[in-house]
Structure 1
Amino acid sequence: MRRGENGTFIWQRPDWPAWRLDYAPLIEPLLAVSSAHGRLQGRLDGVGLDLRQRVSLGALTDDVIQTSAIEGEDLPPESVRSSIARRLGVDIGALAPADRHVDGVVDMVLDATTHADQPLTLDRLHGWHAALFPTGRSGFGRTRVGDFRDDANGPMQVVSGPLHAPRVHFEAPSAERLPAEIARLLDWVDAPVTSSALHDLPALLRAGIAHLWFVTLHPYDDGNGRIARAIGDLLLSRADGMAQRVYSLSAQIQQQRAGYYAILERTQRGDLDVTAWLHWFLQALRQAVDEADRTLDEVLARSRFWQGWSHVAFNERQLRVLARLLDGFEGALNNRKWAALARCSPDTALRDLNDLLARGVIARDGGGRSVSYRLVMPGRSDSG
């Protein structure tokens, strides 16, 4: 089996965990993230609480769904959105039934982001792990819930390839080392900034290092990636000082999952220089903030639409389909698609569309078999 560089992983080095980095290549991405976040914060300060909650609901929903998707687990979006809305007190209409597995992931993410000022303790970590596995099972097997792995079946390894010649991508420290290793990490996470090189780091870099540090220790049988990202989110929340999460780093990691695992593997086989990892982390974070900016645009557009057409009495079908269109309907809207979305007959769909056309809420493009419809935003011309 192939091992790390010089036969070691970073946690096996005698200077572990003396992280090293070169600030020069990190200055530009650090400034870019800070600038993008400042612009986003300024825009959020200019909108009402309800709109900020809508942005936060979208970001948290994305975060919960994508942090699980990274690990190959698909959560139902409506269940996730409903679970978060219940906890935030956001009215989204009909709620999906509660799902204790979904609720557990939501509880972890919300605890990390909305209570970021609270110490990160061992009990808190174990509580997050227990929330992820409410049935005590991971897949088809049982897992040690709220407790470290015991390595009864051998060392914790990430492997690929055939059983007769597996490739070891990573091997974690032995179970007997975990109590001391986790204690050292938790002390570092909550220690005040000092003049020492290990502590005197910009907050965004601390978030990146904490993420890498925890996933390297890999202390649980399962759920390590999700908890590592939650720790990163906790430190990001401390960095930006926002009680509401308005961007999803996990969504960006999921989009670049292959690159995420590749940079982790290279770093864990390296020499404790985390510059490349932090550069990747900051770029993903910048993309997450930019995506939140676009989400705010969409939330504001939806708000302007409903306010601008508040004098129009829509029927239930029209409300349902218009809301779907405002949420990012893909492709051209026609009579057949309206009927499918509204769950009505083609004749009823045509009446709905003609009613909205007459009121100016939608505009028609094309003709004959190729006719399609689009929303008219209040205050804009319906031509072209």
Structure 2
Amino acid sequence: MYIWEQKDWPHFTFDSDKISVVSEECHILQGKLLSKMECLGFAEKEDKVLSTITADIIKSSEIEGLILNKEQVRSSVARRLGIERAGLVYADRNIDAVVEMMLDATQNYEKPLTEERLFGWHACLFPTGYSGMYKIDVGKYRTNEMQVVSGGIGKEKIHYEAPSAKQVPLEMQKFLEWFNAWPGDSLVKSSIAHLWFVTIHPFDDGNGRITRAISDMLLCRSDKTNLRFYSMSSQIEKQKKSYYEILENTQKGNLDITEWILWFLNCLLNAIKESYAEAESVLKKYSFLHQIEDISLNERQHRVLNKLLDPEWFGVLNTSKWAKLAKCSTDTALRDITDLIEKGILEKESAGGRSTNYKLKKI
């Protein structure tokens, strides 16, 4: 028996005491992240929003096995948000349409969710009327039965069977009435909406991506801003295996969805924590650069220092690594490094000789 076949569907229940602990932790960290982002300059904040929305769109598609061109997505987002960036590339209409859907969900998060709006999002995902090679019903609810199946021909495994097509309009009416009226915690509401919508599976295709757009819409309401600083879809993609497991188990369970909500909120907590750590790294970088802004440095030194301050930097710094990063000879690299040591910016990490490594010195 699937969850939607339960007698009291869709009257979900959950343990409020268990959930409130994690929900409160999420809310506190949301506030800390927003405060941290306020410390960034305008350009840095813009960059973070641009990279977050780009990642959200790309990762939401990757969860479904669809790979989008990162530069095209980034360019399309930048243009629509009015962010001026050099090197923007042309984005084809499929990517522009996907970006349009996500931005409508997050930039217009206070607007009601309606059938017309959902149909518009669906049309954005499939502007040609096809999903791959197959023609589908676009901008309207499905008229066929829906199963989630894996495995090759003859070895199919049915993971889930959605409500019949004739039930979908009424199921969606109930969902939309709840969505636009329920006054509860937006984080808990986001988790319930995610499960409820994907359980109905109202469209021929694209249900997962629209589900995550709906979740993001409610997360914006919780943040009370359309500025996106963390990506829930990126975190779900990292935890994809457990995501599908908890989803399948919940859809085959009873109406107590406590475990699903806890999984969702902990996934969200991980997403916010990751973004908070990145924000701290960015602030440390700009604090460091501010402290050395009056020190005379050449172009190579500026370039390599920025690399060292990047949150994704790993490994050791030695003359050969410097030469590679700065595209210069090892002799020039040693002169650059020695100069920075004399200026108190770098220091030796180990004993001298061929194995000498260097690191940034705290100023």
TM tier, smaller: 0.7 to 0.9
Q: Residue deviations 1:338-363, cap 9 Å, x none?
A: 55555666677666656655655544
**CA distance change for structure 1 residues 131 and 373 in 2, over 3 Å: closer, same or farther?**
farther
**Structure 1 residue 189 and structure 2 residue 172: aligned?**
no
Match of 1:15 among 5, 8, 12: 8
Decide whether aligned partners of structure 1 residues 311 and 275 sit closer, same or farther in structure 2, where only a CA change above 3 A counts: same
**Is residue 290 from structure 1 mapped to residue 283 from structure 2 by the alignment?**
no
Q: Which residue of 2 aligns with 1:254?
A: 237
Aligned to 1:196: none
Query: What SS does the corresponding residue of 2:210 show, helix, strand or coil?
Result: helix
Give the AA of the match of 1:139.
Answer: G
Aligned pairs (5 A) from 1:162-201: 162-191=152-181, 199-201=182-184
Give 2:355's match in structure 1, choosing from 370, 381, 384: 370
CA-CA distance at 1:290 after TM superposition: 1.5
Match of 1:5 in 2: none
| 2:290 is the counterpart of 1:300 | no
2:258 maps to what in 1?
275
Cα distance, 1:297 vs structure 2: 0.5
Distance in 2, Cα, partners of 1:68 & 1:332: 35
CA contact (8 A) 2:12 2:256 kept: yes
Partner of 2:123: 130
1:239-262 deviation digits (Å, cap 9, x = unpaired):
221221111111221121111111
| Aligned counterparts of 2:132 and 2:308: Cα–Cα separation in 1 | 36
Letter in 2 for 1:227: I
Give the counterpart letter for 1:116 in structure 2.
Y
Corresponding letter in the other structure for 2:208:
G
Matches within 5 A, 1:75-90: 75-90=68-83
SS where residue 215 of structure 2 aligns? helix
1:242 aligns with 2:225: yes
> Is the contact between residue 19 and residue 258 of structure 2 (CA under 8 Å) also seen in structure 1?
yes
Distance 1:240 1:303 in 2: 25
Task: State percent identity of aligned pairs.
Answer: 46
TM-score under structure 2 length normalisation: 0.86
- State the 1:313 CA deviation: 6.3
Q: 3-state SS of the aligned residue for 1:119?
A: coil
Q: CA deviation at 1:68?
A: 1.8
RMSD: 2.9
Which segment drifts farther, 8-17 or 75-84?
A: 75-84
Q: Is structure 2 residue 149 aligned with structure 1 residue 159?
A: yes
What amino acid maps onto 2:239 in structure 1? Answer: Q
SS of the residue aligned with 2:211?
helix
Aligned to 2:143: 150
Report Cα offsets for 1:262-314 as digits up to 9, x if no partner: 11111111122211111111111122221221121022123224433434566
Structure 2 match to 1:71: 64
State the SS of the aligned residue for 2:169: helix
Q: Which residue in the other structure is 1:194 paired with? A: none
For residue 228 of structure 1, the aligned residue among 187, 211, 214 is 211
> Is 142-151 or 179-188 further displaced after alignment?
142-151
Asked if 2 retains the 8 angstrom alpha-carbon contact of 1:54 and 1:299, the reply is: no
The 3-state SS of whatever aligns with 1:170 is strand
CA change 1:31–1:372 in 2 (3 A) is same
Deviation at 1:117, TM superposition (A): 0.6
* Farther-moved stretch of structure 1 (128-137 vs 264-273): 128-137
Question: Could you tell me how far apart the structure 2 residues matched to 1:238 and 1:263 are?
Answer: 25
Matched residue SS, 2:149? strand
Secondary structure of residue in 2 paired with 1:158: strand
Answer whether contact 1:59 1:292 (CA < 8 A) is retained: no
Take 2:71 and 2:289, find their aligned partners in 1: how far apart are those partners?
Answer: 22
Name the SS for the 1:36 alignment partner.
Answer: helix
Q: Secondary structure at the match of 1:21?
A: coil
State whether structure 2 residue 322 is matched by structure 1 residue 329: no
- Worse overlay, 345-354 or 181-190: 345-354
How many residues align structurally? 361
The residue aligned with 1:98 is 91
| Residue of structure 2 equivalent to 1:195 | none
Task: Please identify, of 358-367 and 261-270, the stretch whose mean Cα deviation from structure 2 is larger.
Answer: 358-367
Is the partner of 1:370 in helix, strand or coil? coil
- The Cα of 1:115 is off from its aligned counterpart by 1.0
In structure 2, distance between residues paired with 1:174 and 1:348: 71
1:234 Cα shift?
0.6
Q: 1:66 to 1:375 in 2, by over 3 A?
A: farther
> Residue 109 of structure 2: SS of its match in structure 1?
coil
- Contact 1:267/1:277 (8 A) holds in 2: yes
Gaps spanning 5+ residues in structure 1: where? Answer: 1-7, 192-198
Q: Which runs of 5+ in 2 are unaligned?
A: none
Q: CA deviation at 1:210?
A: 0.6
CA 235–339 in structure 1, closer or farther in 2 if over 3 Å, else same = same
Alpha-carbon offset, residue 319 of structure 1: 5.0
The more displaced of 355-364 and 114-123 is: 355-364
- Find the aligned partners of 1:326 and 1:365 in 2 and give their Cα distance: 16
TM-score (norm 1): 0.82
Deviation at 1:48, TM superposition (A): 4.4
Query: Is the contact made by 2:73 and 2:91 (CA closer than 8 Å) also made in structure 1?
Result: no
